[in-house]
Amino acid sequence: MMKSWPLPVAFLRGCGLPETLIEYFPSMFNQPIEFYSCFISYSTHDDEFVQRLYADLQVKGVRCWFAPEDLKIGDRFRQRIDDAIRLHDKLLIVLSENSVRSAWVREEVESCLEREQRENRTVLFPIRLDDAVMATTEAWAASIRRQRHIGDFHNWKGHDSYQEGFKRLLRDLKPEKTKDGASGSR
């Protein structure tokens, strides 16, 4: 998205520009929006991985809502999270032993699944760090296991394995092109 864009996203945010304006800036200069925007759902116990993923997505121009960066002091958690899930194209869920047990993550996924029902389109993008989702009895996570392809970041600490998973994630975060070459509906 920002390949030939001269200003880094971090700079634009620092200037106080609204997220929606930053997201659509490239299209104002005849640059197509290259990636879906994402809300990242995860357990804080997986912060090391998520910090790395978030930084790499930002470098590649993927717009992400990430609580440590986007929550403001005094924000009401539930309201801001619900708003962010509604405003972003995809919910990228990081599945792990920690997130499968998290009530917050469960609520975020349930909100996302309700949105999928309303909009009749795929919003949930699951990736996993371990095998917890493959063995859990948590109904919401078992449902994801049965119904979705889950991206594999099992060996994320290994450079090549992480890069392979990240490359595939980037590919899949690109909107599908329509017959006329435009990006699909958002």
Residue among 161, 171, 55, 149 nearest 95 (CA): 149
DSSP state of 71: P
Can you list the alpha helix ranges (DSSP code H) found in the chain? 9-14, 19-28, 47-59, 67-70, 77-87, 97-100, 103-119, 132-135, 139-147, 159-172
Query: Would you list the domain boundaries of the chain?
Result: 35-172
Rounded Cα distance between 148 and 134, Å, is 12
pLDDT tens-place string over residues 97-126? 999 999 989 998 998 899 899 989 888 999
Predicted TM-score of the model (pTM)? 0.74
Instruction: Look at residue 185 in the predicted model and tell me its pLDDT.
Output: 45
CATH number assigned to the domain with residue range 35-172, chosen from the 4 options 2.170.190.11, 3.40.50.10140, 3.30.70.870, 1.10.3720.10:
3.40.50.10140
